[in-house]
Amino acid sequence: MKDFLAALLAEGAAAAAVGRVGTPEGVIWTAAVGESRPGVPATPETRFDLASLTKPFTAALALVLAAEGTLPLATRLREVWPAAHPRLGRKTLEDLLRHRSGLQAWAPLYHLCRSRAEVLALLLGGERLGARAETYSDLGYLLWGLAAEEVTGRPLAALLRSRVLDPLGLAGVAMSPGDGADLAVSSMDTGKEVGLAARQGLTVALQPPPAPGRPQDGNARYLIGLPGFGPVLGHAGLFGTAHDLHVLAAEWLAPGRLLSPLQVTAAWTGGRSFALGWWRRTLRGSAGPALPRSSVGHTGFAGNSVWVDRERRRVSILLATRIDPRCDMNRWRRRFHRDVARQMA
C-alpha cells in the first residue's frame, strides 16, 4: 500500500499523504509520503485540514447532546427559530444531519452575507430550499451547529471539546489552529467554488490557497473571522491526524466511551444515500466495490476520507493534501480500498 501512496504523489494528485488501516483494537498499517510543506517530510503524526470530515465529529456531538436531553434529534427547527420558513421549520435537527432538510448543498456565504444575522436569515428564510429529498448539504450541518449554540448558549468549539474531543482523548484535534510545524499546507485555491457559484448565477472572486492552519473551505475561512462565529463550524474547520480519525471511527464502530450501541445502530439505520453523519457505500463513490455494502464513510474536499467496514470491523483512512480541485480523488480512494482488501484478505 506504500506503493499506492507513492503513485498518488507521482501522478500529481497530492503533495503529501498518510494512510492508516486499523480496528477498534489498534493499528494494522500506517505510512506517510511526500512533504507536508516544502522541505518538511510528512509523517503519520502530520495534521491535515479535515474539511468535511468535521461532519462525523459534529454527528457524534449531536448524539451526545440528544442522549443527555439537551438537544433531542426530533427537535423541529421552528422550536429553535420560530421565524424559520414553514417548510424548513417543520424539519427536525435529525433531518439536517441526514441531509434531508431540503437545503441546497452549498452557497457562497462569503459573497452573500456580512454578519451572523445575515447568515441565519439566508439559511432560515427559504430561498435556499428546494433541493431533492436527499441532498448532501454543508448548509444543513452549518445550521445544526448554529442550533446547538442557540439552545445551549455555548460556542460549538467548546461543546465539541468538552463533549467529544476530551472524552475520546483527542487533545491534538485543533480548530482552525493557524500555523504549526506539524500541519500540512494546502496549495489548492477555491476554483471549485467559483464554478459552483457560477451555476447559481453568481460571480465570486477566486481565493488563493489558505494560510497554514486555515480551512481550504471558503465559507469556513470567511465565517470563522466574523463576529459571532468560532473557530469551527458544523460542516468544517477541524484539523487532525489519521490517529484522531481512527479513534473517532473506532468509537462509532465499537461504541462505549462516548456513544452507545443503540445510538449508533439508530444512526446507521435508515436513509438511502446517507446515514446520520455518514455516507453509505456506493460503487462509483469513494468506497467502491472493495468495501461491503454495509460500510459507511465520509470524505473531505481537501483530499481526505475515512471508511468503516462494519463486517470486518476495519477502518481505512486516507489523508492527502489535494493539489488540483478538478482531480477525481474518489478514483484514488477506490483504489486504496481495493489495495487494502487485497493485502489484508
Residues 196-212 have pLDDT tens digits of 999 999 999 999 999 99
Can you tell me the mean pLDDT for 283-291? 96
Give pLDDT tens digits for 257-274.
999 999 999 999 998 999
pLDDT at residue 1 in the model: 75
Give pLDDT tens digits for 59-99.
999 999 999 999 999 999 999 999 999 999 999 999 999 99
Give pLDDT tens digits for 134-156.
999 999 999 999 999 999 999 99
Band (pLDDT 50/70/90 cuts) for residue 42 is very high
pLDDT at residue 49 in the model: 98
pLDDT at residue 2 in the model: 74
pLDDT at residue 211 in the model: 96
As a whole number, the mean pLDDT across the chain is: 97
Can you tell me the mean pLDDT for 216-237? 97
Percentage of the chain beyond pLDDT 70 is 100
pLDDT at residue 116 in the model: 97
Helix axes 329-343, 2-10, angle to 10 degrees: 160
Can you tell me the mean pLDDT for 208-231? 96
Can you tell me the mean pLDDT for 38-58? 98
Band (pLDDT 50/70/90 cuts) for residue 132 is confident
Q: Is the pTM of the predicted complex or chain greater than 0.85?
A: yes
pLDDT at residue 131 in the model: 83
The 3-state secondary structure of the chain, one letter per residue: CHHHHHHHHHCCCEEEEEEEEEECCEEEEEEEEEEEECCEECCCCCEEECHHHHHHHHHHHHHHHHHCCCCCCCCEHHHHCCCCCHHHHCCEHHHHHCCCCCECCCCCHHHHCCCHHHHHHHHHCCCCECCCCCCCCHHHHHHHHHHHHHHHCCCHHHHHHHHHHCCCCCCCCEECCCCCCCECCCCCCCHHHHHHHHHCCCCCCCCCCCCCCCCCCHHHHHHCCCCCCCCCCCCCCEEECHHHHHHHHHHHHCCCCCCCHHHHHHHCCCCCCEECCEEECCCCCCCCCCCCCCCEEEEECCCEEEEEECCCCEEEEEEEEECCCCCCHHHHHHHHHHHHHHHCC
pLDDT at residue 318 in the model: 98
